[in-house]
Structures are given as structure tokens and as C-alpha cells.
């Protein structure tokens, strides 16, 4: 079944600019989202999602009310929600295996919505900018195509990516929104920052360097909450990485120059050096 905007199938044979012109409400919604100041989300009730991880839960979850992620430059943050059950997923995509990741989040949300007789699947895409290597545009196209290939109708509601999330400063392009959060209870999506990104932020980040395939780790929550990442389940991966101190001993400059998707914008912004150095 297709990816839909206002009930009409998205024509993926055309540039994304054509889709934006055909559906101007998408640009208006992106503009509204960009205009909101980033809210600081405290750890209580938060499940923070790092790059190549995803989390899914429902409004009935007594422990988690907010899903969020940030530090996205060329990466895209995706929120998938079933309007009937309220099952909500947030993932931080970097383009490493987009089709597999989309299939996983689709199946996770659907598995928590099986008893719901009404509602639809809605997707929100945020992130990226006009980077010089066009990695953001490539990821945007991958995500649109991956959702269009799903067996279920998916309705594109928010499209704040690449050219719709770009600002220019002294001839250098930057994203406007680096992070978002979604309130699982109310479905509100808003720009966000996170002072706490644990547990084990640096060790969880290091798994991105391994390029391992996708796997899922059930973190409990009575079958209502899942926390997933590429590679081994989170706990096993962290224990393994603790034995390999060299993976987290590199300087922030080395990580920024050799491992990040958009070196210049992240180096200027300072997020990578600040986190890894």
C-alpha cells in the first residue's frame, strides 16, 4: 500500500520539492515546528533514543511518557504513531539500513495495535539539512521509498527535513532542528534538547562504529515498551564495549573528523567534540 498525503499517493518519481509544492500544508507545518523554541526534557518519564536505536510504547505505559532524540545533522528522526491505539515509535535513522529499520518500526507499532479496530498509521519526519554531500536528501528519499513499500497505508503528516530544516550562516549550512520529542500520551511533537542521554551514553554511541545488523532488545514494561538498536541487545553490547576501552578513548576531534556524517557543521556546532572529547 502507498505512502499518502491527504489521502493521495505520493509520487516518488518526482523530486521532493514537487511534493512540497503540491501539498503546501506540509511546508506550513514544518515552518510552525521550526518556529518553536527547543524545550529541555528532563530524565523523568523520558526514554532517550540514540542513533541506530528505536523505542516504541503506548499511552498505557506507566514508566515512559516521552520519547526523544537529538544530535541529528544529516540523520532524520522518525515518529510513527497509530492513532487508534496510541502506540508510538521514535527512531534515529542514519541511512545505514533504512528499509530494514522502517520494517522493524512498522511491525513494532502494529504489534501494539492488533486489538484496535480503528485508526491509521501516521509518520512524522524531522531532520537533515542542505549538506554539501547531499546525505540528507539521500536519506529523505530512502525513508519516503521505504514507507511507500510497506503493506499498510502510511499517512505522511510532518515533513520537516532537508531543505525544510535548513539555515545558512556565513556560507555554511546547518539544521534548524537537531532534536525532537513526542509525548506518548498527547501525541504532541516538539523540538527538544536532553541534558541526560543515558544510561551509558558514550558506550551506546560507540556501537555505531561497528555497523552491525539490526536487532531488538525487550526492556520490559509488560510488553508495552521496547528498546532496540543495531548490533547485540543493549545490555550485552555495553558489557562487551566496556572490555574494549580503546573504542571510547578516541578524542572528540578524531570522532568528528572520521566518523560523523557532516563534519563541518558538527565541528562548528561543537556537539561532537563536546560529547566525545
Q: What is the β-pairing status of strands 154-161 and 166-169?
A: unpaired
Q: Are the beta carbons of 43 and 65 closer than 8 angstroms?
A: no
Q: Is the peptide bond before 152 cis (omega within 30 degrees of 0)?
A: no
pLDDT of residue 223: 39
- Quote the CA–CA distance of 54 and 51 in Å, as a whole number: 8
pLDDT of residue 96: 87
pLDDT of residue 175: 98
pLDDT of residue 26: 97
- Quote the CA–CA distance of 273 and 180 in Å, as a whole number: 21
Tens of pLDDT along the chain (277 residues)? 699 999 999 999 999 999 999 999 999 999 999 999 999 999 999 999 988 888 999 999 988 999 999 999 999 999 999 999 999 999 999 998 899 999 999 999 999 997 767 999 999 999 999 999 999 999 999 999 999 999 999 999 999 999 999 999 999 999 999 999 999 999 999 999 999 987 777 766 766 665 554 434 334 343 345 445 443 333 333 344 344 433 344 444 444 444 455 555 554 554 433 333 3
pLDDT of residue 217: 34
Tell me how far CA of residue 83 lies from CA of 88, 97, 160, in angstroms: 9, 26, 20
- Quote the CA–CA distance of 242 and 247 in Å, as a whole number: 9
CA-wise closest residue to 154 among 99, 81, 210: 81
Amino acid at each position: 500500500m502507498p505512502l499518502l498525503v491527504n489521502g493521495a499517493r505520493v509520487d516518488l518519481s518526482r523530486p521532493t520539492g514537487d511534493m512540497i509544492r503540491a501539498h503546501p500544508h506540509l511546508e506550513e507545518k514544518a515552518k510552525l515546528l521550526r518556529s518553536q523554541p527547543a524545550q529541555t526534557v528532563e530524565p523523568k518519564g523520558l526514554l532517550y533514543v540514540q542513533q541506530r536505536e528505536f523505542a516504541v510504547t503506548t499511552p498505557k505505559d506507566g514508566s515512559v511518557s516521552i520519547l526523544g532524540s537529538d544530535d541529528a545533522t544529516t540523520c532524520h528522526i522518525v515518529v510513527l504513531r497509530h492513532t487508534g491505539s496510541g502506540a508510538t515509535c521514535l527512531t534515529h535513522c542514519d541511512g545505514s539500513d533504512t528499509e530494514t529499520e522502517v520494517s522493524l518500526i512498522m511491525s513494532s507499532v502494529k504489534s501494539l495495535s492488533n486489538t484496535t479496530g480503528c485508526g491509521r498509521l501516521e509518520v512524522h519526519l524531522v531532520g537533515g539539512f542542505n549538506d554539501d554531500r547531499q546525505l540528507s536528501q539521500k536519506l529523505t528519499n530512502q525513508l519516503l521509498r521505504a514507507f511507500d513499500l510497506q503493506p499498510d497505508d502510511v499517512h505522511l503528516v510532518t515533513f520537516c527535513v532537508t531543505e525544510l530544516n535548513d539555515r545558512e550562516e556565513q556560507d555554511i549550512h546547518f539544521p534548524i532542528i537537531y532534536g525532537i520529542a513526542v509525548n506518548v500520551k498527547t501525541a504532541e511533537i516538539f523540538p527538544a534538547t536532553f541534558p541526560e542521554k543515558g544510561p551509558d551514553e558514550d558506550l551506546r554511541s560507540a556501537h555505531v562504529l561497528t555497523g552491525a545488523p539490526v536487532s531488538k532488545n525487550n526492556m520490559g514494561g509488560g510488553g508495552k515498551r521496547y528498546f532496540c538498536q543495531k548490533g547485540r541487545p543493549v545490555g550485552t553490547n555495553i558489557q562487551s564495549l566496556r572490555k574494549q576501552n580503546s573504542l571510547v578513548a578516541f578524542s572528540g576531534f578524531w570522532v568528528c573528523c572520521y566518523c560523523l556524517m557532516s563534519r563541518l557543521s558538527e565541528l562548528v556546532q561543537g556537539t561532537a567534540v563536546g560529547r566525545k572529547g
